[in-house]
């Protein structure tokens, strides 16, 4: 008969110390060389068989405890990269500065930046499991992947013969007490819009229009909140201005990552200096109009115009302006279709993720998600059609597969039993609209049984990201008791 163990609370500080060590090392997506090398050295220094593959994924093999050699192996999986977002006032450099930890009651956050608990806390928990002498376990494989946040690159490039375990625990879910057994697939559209420019006549002067203070958030987890998209509001505001005065748009930018809903965006436009006060009034009026739409989801919305310096006295010509602005006005963002099978689950969505003006073109990124691959194709083709009609160019990244749930898997049954013994209640079973690496890994290892768990995180992919500290020992206890059920 298995026994119920409670070791997590005594391990919390050790896990948080691992996490703090991890956060001393820059690990922006596509810049994981330092953290990958650090994890490689950590594994080897602890005497574990450790390998780094061609894309910097790390696999640390931890031998089974004595007497556990014949039990099925378990893969503990997380990604080493993080979404790097900071507040406007922050001077943080994500390529060299450590993340500063701040504890407020039961919550851990960073100093005006993303915390990176998505997904650094997974690495920290796995590291402690590997070296904890009081935990009995089967053979463990700690799989730490790269570049999850910008395209699941590490999981996609992982060779299909490296892992030996039967079960995989992904520690990338964000609500304690919830077992995730399925997720959406996804795709990404990269759009290049050719821009022609004309000289700006005197006496027009440059103004900057800024949309800020929006809720933003993860484009999978929070898309159902129907929060505002800063790029969409910027375009609406520019259209409102142009209906009332003559403006010439010179530059536009907004958004930072394909999986983050844009919370800020700005444009440079030219107008007559005599219209300065009128512009301020129009912007104030239009902010009051938009506030009525988004006062629940985005109470911090700010729309501001101001005179600015701009070295280039050129602006988009009329044809570029009309095509670009109307394409962006029509561009889909948000929930496209709710699941008809699972109440409350977003089936298909799109995130108009980023835009920037670069030389003679405007570059855009759009991220599509769906748990039904044909619906993913549908919204992707809608975007393609819109882009083609606008005479722009589009490149589609190869989509990644949805993770289809297996409701009666052995791993899920054992995890439910372990959770019930610990807390005398049932875990919630969920399918999420966000993307997890499980879908990609499952396509490479079709016999692998997978489950995603994790401590509660809030406001991921924003500077308000925080980790609920008291959930860390709960996840640790769940894992070690799950071992007991195997």
Residue 349 structure tokens? 């969505």
Question: Which residues are registered as beta bridge partners of 432?
Answer: 183
pLDDT of res. 440: 92
Q: Which of 149, 213, 221, 214 is nearest to 365 (CA)?
A: 149
Q: If you average pLDDT over every residue of the chain, what do you get? A: 95
**Each residue of 193-210: b (16+ CB within 10 Å) or e?**
bebeeeebeeebbbbbbb
- In angstroms, the CA 175 to CA 179 distance is 9
Tell the burial category of 385 from Cβ atoms under 10 Å away from its Cβ (0-12, 13-18, 19+). exposed
pLDDT digit string, tens, across residues 316-342: 999 999 999 999 999 999 999 999 988
- In angstroms, the CA 337 to CA 124 distance is 37
Residue 278 structure tokens? 């009128």
Report how far Cα 288 is from the mean position of its chain's Cα atoms. 30
Tell the burial category of 382 from Cβ atoms under 10 Å away from its Cβ (0-12, 13-18, 19+). middle
Number of H helices and E strands in the chain, helices first, is 11, 23
- 189 within 8 A of 379, measured Cβ to Cβ: no
- Positions annotated as catalytic residues are 81, 148
- 259 pLDDT more than 90: no
- 366 within 8 A of 188, measured Cβ to Cβ: yes
Question: Which residues are registered as beta bridge partners of 279?
Answer: none
- In angstroms, the CA 296 to CA 227 distance is 9
What percent of the chain has pLDDT above 70? Answer: 100
Q: Which of 92, 106, 77, 87 is nearest to 23 (CA)?
A: 92
* 293, 297, 300, 303 alpha-carbon torsion, rounded to 10°: -40
In the chain the domains, ranked by start, together with CATH numbers, are: 8-184+402-485 (3.40.630.10), 187-396 (3.30.70.360)
The phi, psi pair for 27, rounded to 5°, reads -150, 45
Residue 16 structure tokens? 């948080």
- 1 pLDDT more than 50: no
- 216 within 8 A of 464, measured Cβ to Cβ: no
pLDDT of res. 434: 85
- 166 within 8 A of 418, measured Cβ to Cβ: no
- In angstroms, the CA 27 to CA 299 distance is 32
pLDDT of res. 471: 98
pLDDT digit string, tens, across residues 456-482: 999 998 899 999 999 999 999 999 999
- In angstroms, the CA 62 to CA 82 distance is 25
- 218 pLDDT more than 90: no
pLDDT of res. 435: 84
- In angstroms, the CA 452 to CA 244 distance is 52
Q: H/E element holding 76? A: strand 74-79
pLDDT of res. 275: 96
- 383 pLDDT more than 50: yes
Taking the model in full, what pTM does it have?
0.78
- In angstroms, the CA 140 to CA 137 distance is 7
pLDDT digit string, tens, across residues 30-89: 999 999 999 999 999 999 999 999 999 999 999 999 999 999 999 999 999 999 989 989
Residue 263 structure tokens? 């919370």
At 2, the pLDDT band (50, 70, 90 cuts) reads low
- 150 pLDDT more than 90: no
- In angstroms, the CA 212 to CA 230 distance is 7
pLDDT digit string, tens, across residues 405-418: 999 999 999 999 99
Maximum separation of any 2 CA atoms in the chain, in Å = 85
The phi, psi pair for 122, rounded to 5°, reads -65, -45
- 5 pLDDT more than 60: yes
pLDDT of res. 256: 87
């Amino acid at each position: 008969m298995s026994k119920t163990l409670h070791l997590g609370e005594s391990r919390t500080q050790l896990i948080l110390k691992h996490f703090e060590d991890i956060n001393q090392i820059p690990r922006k997506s596509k810049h994981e060389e330092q953290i990958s090398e650090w994890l490689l050295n950590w594994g080897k220094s602890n005497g574990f068989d450790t390998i780094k593959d061609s894309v910097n994924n790390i696999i640390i093999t931890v031998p089974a405890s004595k007497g556990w050699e014949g039990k099925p192996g378990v893969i503990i999986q997380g990604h080493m990269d993080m979404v790097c977002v900071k507040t406007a006032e922050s001077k943080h450099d994500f390529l060299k500065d450590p993340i500063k930890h701040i504890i407020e009651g039961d919550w851990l956050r960073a100093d005006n930046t993303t915390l990176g608990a998505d997904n650094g806390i997974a690495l920290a928990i796995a590291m402690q499991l590997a070296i904890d002498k009081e935990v009995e376990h089967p053979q463990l494989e700690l799989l730490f992947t790269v570049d999850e946040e910008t395209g699941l690159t590490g999981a996609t490039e992982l060779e299909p013969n490296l892992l030996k375990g039967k079960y995989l625990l992904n520690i990338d879910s964000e609500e304690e007490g919830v077992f995730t057994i399925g997720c959406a697939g996804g795709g990404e559209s990269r759009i290049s819009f050719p821009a022609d420019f004309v000289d700006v006549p005197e006496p027009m002067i440059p103004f900057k229009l800024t949309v800020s203070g929006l809720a933003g958030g993860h484009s999978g987890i929070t898309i159902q909140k129907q929060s505002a998209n800063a790029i969409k509001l910027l375009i609406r505001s520019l259209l409102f201005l142009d209906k009332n005065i003559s403006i010439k748009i010179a530059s536009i930018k907004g958004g930072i990552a394909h999986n983050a809903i844009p919370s800020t965006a700005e444009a440079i436009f030219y107008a007559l200096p005599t219209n300065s006060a009128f512009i301020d009034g129009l912007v104030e009026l239009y902010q009051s109009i938009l506030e009525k739409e988004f006062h629940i989801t985005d109470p911090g919305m700010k729309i501001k115009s101001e005179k600015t310096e701009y070295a280039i006295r050129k602006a988009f010509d009329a044809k570029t302006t009309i095509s670009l602005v109307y394409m962006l006005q029509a561009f889909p963002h948000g929930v496209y279709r709710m699941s008809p099978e699972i109440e409350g689950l977003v089936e298909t969505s799109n995130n108009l993720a980023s835009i920037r003006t670069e030389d003679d073109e405007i570059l855009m990124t759009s991220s599509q998600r769906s748990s039904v691959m044909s619906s993913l194709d549908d919204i992707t083709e809608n975007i393609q059609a819109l882009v083609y009609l606008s005479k722009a160019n589009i490149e589609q990244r190869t989509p990644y597969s949805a993770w289809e749930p297996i409701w009666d898997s052995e791993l899920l049954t054992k995890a439910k039993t372990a959770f019930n013994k610990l807390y005398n209640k049932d875990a919630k079973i969920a399918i999420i609209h966000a993307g997890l690496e499980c879908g990609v890994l499952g396509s490479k290892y079709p016999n692998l049984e997978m489950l995603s768990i994790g401590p509660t995180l809030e406001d991921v992919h924003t500077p308000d990201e925080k980790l609920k500290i008291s959930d860390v020992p709960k996840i640790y206890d769940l894992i070690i008791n799950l071992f007991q059920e195997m």
